[in-house]
Chains A and B, each alone.
Chain A
Amino acid sequence: MISQLSWKIGGQQGEGVESTDRIFSTALNRLGYYLYGYRHFSSRIKGGHTNNKIRISTKPIRAISDDLDILVAFDQESIDLNAGELRPGGVVVADAKFSPTIPDGVQARLFAVPITAIAEELGTSLMKNMVASGASWGLLGLPMEVFNKAVEEEFGRKGAAIVEKNVEAVRRGAEFVLEQAGGPLDEFKLEEADGKQKLFMIGNEAMALGCVAAGCRLMSAYPITPASEIMEYLIKKLPKFGGTVVQTEDEIAAVTMAIGANYAGVRTMTASAGPGLALMMEAIGLSGMTETPLLIVDTQRGGPSTGLPTKQEQSDINALIYGTHGEIPKLVVAPSTIEECFYDIIEGFNLAEQYQIPVIVATDLQLSLGKQTSEALDYDKIVINRGKLVTEELEPNEDNRLFKRYEFTEDGISPRVIPGAKHGIHHVTGVEHDQEGRPSENALNREKMMDKRLGKISNLRVTNAVKADVPNANPDLLIIAMGSTGGTIEEARARLTADGITTNQIMVRQMHPFPNELLQPHLESAKQVVVLENNATGQLANLIKQNIGYHDRIRNLLKYDGTPFLPSEIHKACKELN
C-alpha cells in the first residue's frame, strides 16, 4: 500500500486531456484523497502538446512531485516528452493505434490499449479519453461506481444515451487493461483516504468564491490568461445575487469602471495579469488619490511584454509596488495557499473600504490554475467591514458647504458618503484637493493631504502578513518565498532535515507596505537566508535588502524558465549553498 502517487495525461490540445483530468480528479476527490494538479498548456486552442498532472495523496500536499507513476498518452510525443519523469517501475497506458514505444533507458511498463479502436467501436473516437481514463482507473483498483458518477455528471446534460456510452467506454478500457495486467497493480494500491469531504478547485475559483462571499456584486474585466476563470465564475454567480460582470473593451475601462462602481458604493473588482496591470497603472493612482476603494487581482504569468502567457512566474512584484506615477497608499497581498486565496479576497475588500485604498491581491499562475484540494472554508470567518461608510441620514451642512469627504482625522481616514445621499454632496478629483474635494494648489494643504493619504496605512498589517514556520531558534537556513511555492519548499525542507540541515520557512504575504518588524527577527536568527522566487532579478530578495538589510546573509534561488520549482531542485540548491 502506498500513500501517494502521481498520474499524468498527455496529448494534443483539444483532444480531451482537460475533461479526462476533470473526471479523474473529481472521482478521486469524492473518495477523500488530497490532490494537487499542474497544467502544462500553450497559448493556442487546438494542437500542440498539452498535459495535466495530478498528485494523489492520503495526506495534505501542496506541491508537484519530482517523478511520475502513471502516464496516459494519446500520442508518441506525449511519451517522448514525459517518460523521463517516470520513476523506475512506472506505467505507461498508451493508444495501441500508434504502436507506442518506451524510450531507451526508461524502465517503465507499457500497456498498449486499443483506445481509439474501442472508442470507434462504440460510435465515436471522441470517447477515447474515456477509454484511456477507464484503463488507468482500473489499474489503480479504485471503486468503479465513483468514477461512473463523475462521468455521469460530466455528460449528464447531453442525455442518458451519451452517459451510457461513455460509462461503457470506461468499462471497456478498464476491462482490457486489467486482462493484460492480470488485475489492479499491487504497487499502485493506495491506502484508503480519510473519507472527509474536501473541496477541489483552482485558486481563481477560490478567489471568485471569495468575491461573492465578500459582497462583491460587480466585476468589470478584460479576458486574459491566467485570470479569465475569475470572470467566468462570477458571470455565472453574480446575476443570482442581482449583480453582473461587464466584459470591457480593455483593462483601462475595466479598472476605471470598477473605480466608478466602488465610488458609487458597490464592492466591485477586476482581475488581470501583467499586461493588463500595466494598462491599469494610471487608474490605480486615481483610486489612491481619490481614496476610492478598489480591489484588483493580478495573476502573475511569465513577462515581460507578452512573455510566457501560460507559464509560471512571479515577476510583477516591482510593478505592483512601485507602479503608478506619484505616491499613493496601497496594499499588495500575496496569498500562498488555496484557502488564503479565498480569505484574502474577503479581507482585501474589507481593507480597501476601511483604508479607502487600492488593494492588489497577487497570485501566480500555478496558484491561480493548479487544481488542488482545499480544506473546508469557514462561513463564520466571512466578516464584512465597510469602514467609515456613512449610512445614516446627514444633517444639512452649514453655509451651504460641501460634505467634508477628505476631512483631516486622527487616523487619516475620512468619512465616506456615496452618491444619492442627501446633504452628502462633495467633489472627487484626481487633482490635489481640499477637505471638500475642491481642487487646491495650496502648499500647506498639499503637504497635509499627502501626509494624510500616505500615513493612514503605516500600521496596516493583513492577517498573517508574514507566515512563519520556524521550529529552529538558529536555523542553518531560512527560506523566504511568496505565492505558490510554499508546499514545494516544505517537501524540500523534509529532505534537508534528513540531511541534518536545520531550516525555517517564511512566506511573505504582505508585499506592501513591507512588514519589516515581522520579518527582521527571523533574518537575525538565521545563519543563512535563501530567498526563493520565480523571476530573474530577485525582486523579493531586493525588497528585503532594501527594507531590512542583511545583504551579506541573503542568497537568491531563482527560477525563470516558466516551470514551477520541484522539491528536488530546492533540496539540491539549498544543500549546495550550505
Chain B
Amino acid sequence: MATFKEFRNNVKPNWCPGCGDFSVQAAIQRAAANVGLEPEQLAVISGIGCSGRISGYINAYGLHGIHGRSLPIAQGVKLANRELTVIASGGDGDGFAIGMGHTVHAIRRNLDVTYIVMDNQIYGLTKGQTSPRSAEGFKTKSTPEGSIETTLSPLEIALSAGATFVAQSFSSDLKQLTSLIEQGLNHKGFSLINVFSPCVTFNKINTYDWFKENIVNLEQFPDYDPSNRIAAMTKIMETNGMLTGLIYQNKERKSYEDLAAGFKQEALTKQDIKLSREDFDKLLTEFK
C-alpha cells in the first residue's frame, strides 16, 4: 500500500511562501494514501490559476487543462475509466466565475468525481482582481471603489442544484480537510469540497487570522444531521457560509454512471472496441 510520500514528486510548487494551497496539496496526498490508492489509480484534473498547478505537484496522473473546464475534463476521464479515482481541482475564479456553468451541471449530473476548490476570494495569478467570492466593498485592482456585486454562495448553489455531498474546510485545519477529502473520495457521486485557502500576497482582508476568527466548525453542533437538506441550507445561511465540516451528504442517490442505461460496470478502456460482423449487419438492417 502506498504511503502519502509516494504521492509526492520532486517538483517545487511555484506558490508564494505561506499560500494555503500547500496544505491542500498535502491533504490530498494524505487522503489518497488513507483511502488505499496507488498513485497510478488517481487522476487529478485541474483548471487555470495558481491553484490549477496542483495537478503537477502530486505524483499521480494529472491534466492541467484550460480555464474553468476542469470539471468537464474530469467527468470525461471518469466516464472513460470508472475504475480510476478522479479529483477535479482549481480556484474560486475557475469554478465559480468562468466555470460556474460546469459546476452547477456537474453537481446535477452526479458523476463520481471529487471537486476541491481552493477558495481565496481573489484572482491571484493575474495579480489581484475581484472574484465572485470577494466580499461586497472589497477593493482590488479591478474594483478600486470596492466590489459592488453580491458575493456568490457556492454552498447554497450546490444544495439547490441537487448536490449529494457538500463540505467546506480551511487549509490550516489539515486534519479536518484530510478527513473531508477522504469522505469525498469514498462518496459514490459528485462531491464538492470548498476550501478556504488564503492568498497571502493579494488578499489582506481574508487572512489566516480572519478565517480563524470567523469560521464556525460544525463540531460545535453535536446534533447536526448532514443528511437533512433543509437543516444544511439553514445552517449555511445562519453562518453566512462560514461553516466548516461535512454540511450535507445524500447516500441514497445513485451516481450518473450507475443510472445511465447500459453503461458498463467495467472500465470502458478495457473493452475490445472492434465491432463484430454480426453486430454490424444488425446495425445496417435499420437502413434497409
Instruction: Indicate if B81 sits at the interface (CB-CB under 8 A).
Output: yes
A253 contact from B72, B81, B83, Cβ within 8 A = B72
Flag whether A178 is at the interface (Cβ < 8 A). no
- For the complex, is B242 an interface residue (Cβ under 8 Å from A)? no
- What per-residue 1/0 map shows which CB atoms of A237-273 lie under 8 Å from chain B? 1111111101011101110111111111111100000
Is A30 an interface residue when CB atoms closer than 8 A count as contact? yes
A-side contacts of B79, CB under 8 Å: 218, 244, 246, 257, 260-261, 266
Partner of B77, one of A29, A205, A264, A429: A264
Report A401-435 residues with CB < 8 Å from chain B CB. Answer: 402, 418-431
What is the bound-complex CA distance between A286 and B72, given in angstroms? 13
B260's contact among A241, A244, A266, A402, by CB below 8 Å, is which? Answer: A244
A566 at the A/B interface (Cβ < 8 Å)?
no
User: Is A260 touching B73 in the complex (CB atoms < 8 A)?
Assistant: yes
A75 in the interface, Cβ–Cβ < 8 Å? Answer: no
- CB of B263 within 8 A of CB of A263, answer no
Assess whether B102 is in contact with A420, with CB atoms less than 8 Å apart. Answer: no
Is there contact, CB below 8 Å, between A260 and B75?
yes
Residues of A within 8 A of B80 (CB): 218, 260-266, 268
Q: How far is the CA of A500 from the CA of B79 in the complex (A)?
A: 60
Interface string of B92-109 (1 = CB under 8 A from A): 000000000110110001
Chain B residues with CB under 8 Å of A428's CB are 62-64
Docked complex Cα distance between A418 and B267 (Å): 12
Least CB distance, B234 to chain A, in whole angstroms: 29
Q: Which of A195-203, A460-468, A505-513, A522-530 contacts B (4 or more CB under 8 A)?
A: A195-203
In contact, B81 and A248 (Cβ under 8 angstroms):
no
Q: Is B127 an interface residue (CB 8 A)?
A: no
Contact B283 A212 (CB under 8 A): yes
B226 contacts chain A at the CB level, 8 A cutoff: no
Distance of A197 Cα from B274 Cα, bound (Å): 25
Q: Mark A161-192, 1 if CB is under 8 A from B, else 0.
A: 00000000000000000000000000000000
Q: For B69, what are the chain A residues with a Cβ–Cβ distance below 8 Å?
A: 252-253, 256, 283
B76 contacts A377, CB within 8 Å? no
Minimum CB–CB distance from B9 to chain A (whole Å) comes to 8
Q: Which of B60, B262, B287 contacts A240 (CB 8 A)?
A: B262
A422 cross-chain contacts in B, Cβ below 8 A: 38, 40
> In the docked arrangement, what's the CA distance between A424 and B40, Å?
8
Q: Determine whether A215 belongs to the interface, using a CB cutoff of 8 Å to chain B.
A: yes
Q: Chain A interface: which size bin?
A: 35 or more
Bound CA span A264–B65, Å: 14
Cβ of A260 and Cβ of B40 under 8 Å apart?
no
Given A261-B79, A420-B83, residue A215 in contact with residue B288 (CB < 8 A) = no
Complex: how many Å from CA A427 to CA B10?
Answer: 13
In the bound assembly, the distance between CA atoms of A197 and B262 in angstroms comes to: 32
Select one of A200, A244, A286, A438 contacting B287, CB under 8 A: A200
B76–A257 touching, CB < 8 Å: yes
- Do residues A421 and B55 form an inter-chain contact, with CB atoms below 8 A? no
Q: A377, B275: Cβ atoms under 8 Å?
A: no
User: In the bound complex, how far is the Cα of B280 from the Cα of A215, in angstroms?
Assistant: 12
Residue A308 interfacial (CB < 8 Å): no
Assembly CA distance A267 to B75 (angstroms): 15
Tell me the minimal C-beta distance from B107 to chain A in angstroms: 11
| Cβ-based interface call for A374 (8 A) | yes
* Inter-subunit contact B72/A213 (CB<8 Å): no
Contact A419 B77 (CB under 8 A): yes
| A488: interface (CB < 8 Å) | no
Given A264-B81, A382-B275, A420-B269, verify A256-B76 contact (CB < 8 Å): yes
A209 and B283 contact, CB distance less than 8 A: yes
CB-CB nearest in chain A for B38: A422
Known interface pairs A212-B283, A242-B262, A425-B60; A265-B81 also in contact (CB < 8 Å): yes
B204: chain A residues within 8 A (beta carbon): none
1/0 contact string of A289-331 vs chain B (CB within 8 Å): 0100000000000000000000000000000000000000000
Is A384 part of the binding interface, using a Cβ–Cβ cutoff of 8 Å? yes
Closest to B41 in A: A420
Asked whether B72 lies within 8 Å of A252 as measured between CB atoms, the reply is yes
Q: B53, B55, B77: which contacts A263 (Cβ < 8 A)?
A: B77
Residue-wise, chain B 252-270 has the 8 Å CB interface mask toward A (1 for contact) of 0000000011111011110
Q: How far, in angstroms, from A423 to B40 measured CA to CA in the complex? A: 8
Alpha-carbon distance between A282 and B72 when the two chains are bound, in angstroms: 14
Across the interface, do A282 and B283 meet the contact criterion of CB distance under 8 Å? no
Contacts of B40 in A (CB 8 A): 419-425
Q: Which of A220, A239, A260 is close to B263, meaning CB atoms less than 8 Å apart?
A: A239
Please give, as numbers and ranges, the residues of chain B lying within 8 Å of A248 by CB-CB distance.
72, 105
* B62 adjacent to A427 (CB under 8 Å): yes
B71 nearest CB neighbor, chain A only? A253
| Interface assignment of B273: CB less than 8 Å from any CB of chain A | yes
Contact surface of B with A, Cβ cutoff 8 Å? 9-11, 38-41, 43, 45, 53, 55-56, 59-66, 69, 71-77, 79-81, 83-84, 101-102, 104-105, 109, 260-264, 266-269, 271, 273-275, 277, 280-281, 283-284, 287-288
23 contacts between A and B (CB under 8 A): A30-B288, A199-B284, A215-B273, A215-B274, A244-B263, A246-B75, A249-B102, A257-B79, A258-B76, A260-B45, A263-B80, A264-B81, A265-B80, A266-B80, A266-B268, A267-B273, A282-B66, A384-B274, A423-B40, A425-B61, A426-B61, A429-B56, A430-B64
User: Contacts A258-B76, A423-B40 given; 7 further ones with Cβ under 8 A?
Assistant: A212-B275, A253-B105, A257-B73, A263-B77, A379-B281, A419-B43, A430-B65
Using a CB–CB distance below 8 Å, which chain A residues touch chain B? 29-30, 197-201, 205, 209, 212-215, 217-218, 220, 237-244, 246, 248-250, 252-254, 256-268, 282-283, 285-286, 290, 374, 377, 379, 382, 384, 400, 402, 418-431, 438-439
